[in-house]
Structure 1
C-alpha cells in the first residue's frame, strides 16, 4: 500500500512539474514573440506590420512577408513585390511583373491594370508617369500635349501625349521600340486605366526618384510604381514609442482593433513603464509569430503533453485540489 501511494505521489509530482515546465515554456515563447521589424532587407516600422496586431490597424493584412524574405503589397488587382519603403517621405516603391519592360521591346505581353483600394490610406503618387504603347487612334486621343491643350484647353487632360519626354527617352532603353507608338497619360482612376488598356497593347509606370542633387538633376526616371501612404500619429503611440517610457511597439488588439502598446513583458493600453497598470498586463499574443518557437521547444512541449496524457490514464493529476475548474485536460 505504501509503495502504491508512493508511486502515485511520485507520478503526481512529476506531472505537476511537467505542467509548470509547459506553462513556463509557453509563457517564455509568447513573451519572446514580438513584431518583426524587417522582411529581408526592408525595414518594417510603424504604421506597418507583417504580424497581425502590429502597427496600425489601417494597414492590417496589407503587407505579406514570404518565408524567403520577399515583401509584397496586397491590392485589389493582386500582390506586388516591394522594392523599398521610405518613412521620411512616406512612400512604397513597387514593381509589377505584368507591365512592359525594356526586354519586351515591340513584343507586348498580356497585362492587367494596377489598382488601389480607395478606402485605404494608400494613394498613387503624382510622381508616377504612365506610358501606353500601340494605342488605337480611333479610340484614344494621341497628340502632342502642348499643341492639343492650346486648341482644346477644356479637354487637355484627356489626351495621351505622343511627344512626352519619357517616350522620347525611355529609361534605360531609349531605342527599345522600333515599330510601336508611345504616349504618356496619367489616369485619374482605375477605371480610366482599364479603358486605356482596352485600346492599347500594353503600358508601364515610371516614377521620378529624388537623387538629392541640385536641379535639374535632382530627379531621375525609373520603372516602378510609387504608392504614397499616411502615417497616423496618435499621442498614445508616441508615448508608447518614447524610450523614456519604456520604448514599446505600437500595435492593436486583433479582435477590437483598439490601440495596444506591445512591451517585452506584455501588452498595455498606455506605455511600458506605466507601473500602475503593470499588474493588469496580458501576455503578448500576436498571430503569425509562431516561428519564434524553436523546434526543440515544440518537441519538448509535444512530449510533455503526451506524457501527461499517459500519466493521467494511470493516476490522477492533483497539483493541489483537483476539481472541474483546474483540470488541464
Structure 2
C-alpha cells in the first residue's frame, strides 16, 4: 500500500506552526463569542423571540432577517436592501422601518427618485393595514387625482380607484410646518400592492405613513407618523414555552440547530432539546456549549478546515438578504 509523508523544512516549521496557532486562537474567539447566550438588545431596541441577531437564536422563520451594526443600529434585511428599524413591539407584534429613499419634509418640492421596497415571503411578515401612502407630482393622465366624496369614509371599498388630493395627510403633513394642496400631493390606500407599484410608475416620489396608536380617547387614538409598519407572527410552541419556564431550570432561550433547524433550548449549561433541566440529553449537550452546535474542541490540523468554514459562513450571511425567500406580488410594496 502506497503511503504519503508530509516533508516540512526547518524554515517552514515556524511559519506553519504560527499559522496553526493563529487559526486555533481565531476559532477560540469565535467559540467563546458563540458560547454565550443570545444578545437581548441592539442599541436601545430589545431583541426577543422570535427575532435574533445571533444565528441559532430565535425562530428559524426569521433567520438572517435582523442585523445589528457595529454602531448598534438595528436593520431589517429584505430582498430590496437594508432598512433602519425605528422600533419593535412584541405586545402588538410589529416593527416600523424607515426607507431612506422616501420623500421627507426637508425635500419639499424637490422630489427624489425612489426605489421599490419588498418583503421576503418565506418569513411571517406582512404589510400592515395601518399603512397609508402619499404620492407626489403624479401624472393626471395616468392616475385619477381628485378629492374623494364624503361617503368614501363609510364605503372605502367603492373609492379605491382614485388618489385623494384633499386628504387629511396632504393638508396636515406629519412633522412638517407646511401643507401641500392640489395635484402635487394625494393619498392612496389600495387593496392590492400591485396597484402601488403602478402608482409609483406615474408619480415622482412617495412617503409611507402609518397610524400609531397612542392610547388617547377614541377620536384621537391614532396619530400619523412616517415609516412602514410591518406586522409579524410569533410562533408559539410547547417546547419554547417549556424552555422559557422558570421552574424548569431558570428559564432558557428558544433557539434552533443551524444545520437541521430543529428546536434547541439554549441554556448556560448547554443546548437541550426541551428545557434547561433536560438531564436525558445532558451527556450529549455537555460537549455542545455553543449556539449552532459548534464543537468546543479542535485539533491543530482541523483548524485549517475551520478557517475555510468561517469564511464560507460569512459569505453565506452576506448573501442572505438577497437570496433568502421568494418574492410575490402579495408581499411587495411596489
Specify the TM-score bucket, using the shorter chain as the normaliser: 0.7 to 0.9
Q: Show the counterpart of 1:309.
A: none
Change in CA separation of 1:172 and 1:31 when aligned onto 2, cut-off 3 Å? closer
Once residues 206 and 79 of structure 1 are traced to their aligned partners in structure 2, the CA distance between those partners, rounded to angstroms, is: 19
Query: Using the alignment, how far apart are the partners of 2:96 and 2:78 within structure 1?
Result: 14
SS at match of 1:80: strand
1:51 match? 54
Q: 1:146 to 1:272 in 2, by over 3 A?
A: same
Is residue 2:288 matched to residue 1:283?
yes
1:260 to 258, 264, 267: 264
Contact persistence 2:38–2:54 (CA under 8 A): yes
Tell me the equivalent position of 1:167. 170
The counterpart of 1:270, out of the listed 274, 279, 284, is: 274
Please give the residue correspondences for 1:155-234 in structure 2 after superposition, counting only pairs within 5 Å. Answer: 156-177=159-180, 181-234=184-237
The answer to whether 1:120 aligns with 2:123 is yes
Partner secondary structure for residue 123 of structure 1: strand
Q: Is the Cα–Cα contact under 8 Å of residues 76 and 115 in structure 1 kept in the other structure?
A: yes
User: Could you tell me the TM-score, scaled by structure 1's length?
Assistant: 0.75
Tell me how far apart the structure 2 counterparts of residues 274 and 153 of structure 1 sit (CA, whole Å): 55
Q: Please list the CA deviations of residues 242-290 of structure 1 after superposition, one character each: whole Å capped at 9, or x if unmatched.
A: 1111200000010111111001011111100122322221423336x9x
Distance 2:34 2:185 in 1: 56
Shift of 1:87: 0.3
Q: Secondary structure at the match of 1:46?
A: coil
**Distance (whole Å) between structure 2 residues aligned to residue 28 and residue 122 of structure 1:** 32
Q: How many positions carry a matched residue from both structures?
A: 273
Larger mean CA deviation between 169-178 and 123-132 belongs to 169-178
For structure 2, the 5+ residue unaligned runs are: 1-20, 295-299, 301-334
Q: CA–CA distance in 1 between the matches of 2:30 and 2:114?
A: 49
CA contact (8 A) 2:67 2:76 kept: yes
RMSD over aligned Cα, in angstroms? 3.2
Which range is displaced more, 181-190 or 107-116?
181-190
Q: 2:166–2:182: 8 Å Cα contact kept in structure 1?
A: no
Question: Unpaired segments of 5 or more residues in structure 1?
Answer: 1-17, 290-304, 306-329
Deviation track 1:214-258 (CA, whole Å, cap 9, x = no partner) reads 222211111111111000000000000111112000000101111
Q: TM-score, normalised on structure 2?
A: 0.74
Distance in structure 2 (CA, Å) of the matches to 1:65 and 1:72: 6
